[in-house]
Amino acid sequence: MGRMGRHVFVAGCVALWLLPLYLLVVNALTPVAEYEGKPGWTFQGFALVDNVRTAWDEAGIGDSFQASLLYAVVCGLVAVLVAAMAAFAVVVLPIPRPAFWFWLIYSGTLFPLQVFLAPLFGLYADANLYDTRLGLMLVYVAWAVPFAFFLIRNQMTTMPPELTEAALIDGASFIRVFWSVHVPLMRSGLGAAFLFQFTAVWNDLLLGLTLSRSGDVQPVMASLATLRATYASSGPPVILAGALVVSVPTLLLFLVFRGLFLRGMAASVR
């Protein structure tokens, strides 16, 4: 494939990504009264504020948005901290059979999420965790740890063992080595892992639909999915305006911290 062919291929891929975004924006701006029942390709007006207000207040996206922000930030931070400690134990601590513990933790990413839905639903119903923020936070942390562990462990294996040995000779404990040596040196990897987990929790639909139903507990993607049935008579503009709003946090996060993300990924794949 020559240079021209590569340019055409890249342009085609860009168009495939931008066209849905263009349709999303155009139809989210369309007033509900002027929507013709099918996606429009031209701007019919500017009713984004009204559509967002309807989705945010009347449809309850605002409560779900705040709940998802709590889940994504808190669960992402906790999962990264737990994953970093687990990676430190597997790579640095003199534990027996470290490969076994690596595969045991990493196996959490190998099974389809659907396998756990029925047992989780029964367990949460029996433990009174169904439709609670604590229940969702627990499952999000457990779900996010294995992949974060994989990323952080990969970066930690590239760190010279002499750093740990020197710190231990100077009298530092393993806890001090973790917090004073490894955590500062792994800031980019920890940041990249957090960005991944924030996005994964924010975009979750399946767990949110299965384990919650209240508007102030249900994550925003699950709330957005139920918006279609509730506001079908209003047409897609309200739904698309809600989708536009809920896509902003992850987009801003990657735009602001893209340098940190790239450095972290580069450190994790060495």
Tens of pLDDT along the chain (270 residues)? 577 888 888 888 888 888 888 888 887 888 877 777 677 777 777 877 888 888 787 667 888 999 999 999 999 999 999 999 999 999 999 899 999 999 999 988 888 888 889 899 999 999 999 999 999 999 999 999 999 999 999 989 988 889 888 999 888 899 999 999 999 988 888 998 999 999 999 999 999 999 998 888 999 988 887 776 665 555 678 888 888 888 889 888 888 887 766 676 666 555
Whole-number Å distance between alpha carbons of 204 and 199: 8
Identify the sign of the CA torsion 268, 83, 143, 223. negative
219 touches 212 (CB < 8 A):
yes
User: Yes or no: is domain 62-268 CATH 3.40.50.10790?
Assistant: no
| pLDDT at res. 50 | 83
Identify the sign of the CA torsion 232, 233, 234, 235. positive
Whole-number Å distance between alpha carbons of 46 and 31: 7
Nearest to 194 by CA among 242, 132, 138, 250: 250
Residue the block writes with tokens 């690596």: 102
In terms of Cβ atoms closer than 10 Å to its own Cβ (0-12, 13-18, 19+), residue 100 is: exposed
| pLDDT at res. 46 | 80
**In sequence order, what are the residues at sequence separation of 6 or more whose Cβ sits closer than 8 angstroms to the Cβ of residue 152?**
80, 83, 84, 87, 186, 189, 190, 193, 268
| pLDDT at res. 149 | 95
CB atoms within 10 A of CB 137: 18
Write down the domain spans for the chain: 1-46, 62-268
Nearest to 72 by CA among 238, 197, 221: 197
The two structure tokens encoding residue 167 = 């710190």
Identify the sign of the CA torsion 99, 101, 103, 106. negative
Give Cα 115 to chain centroid, integer Å. 20
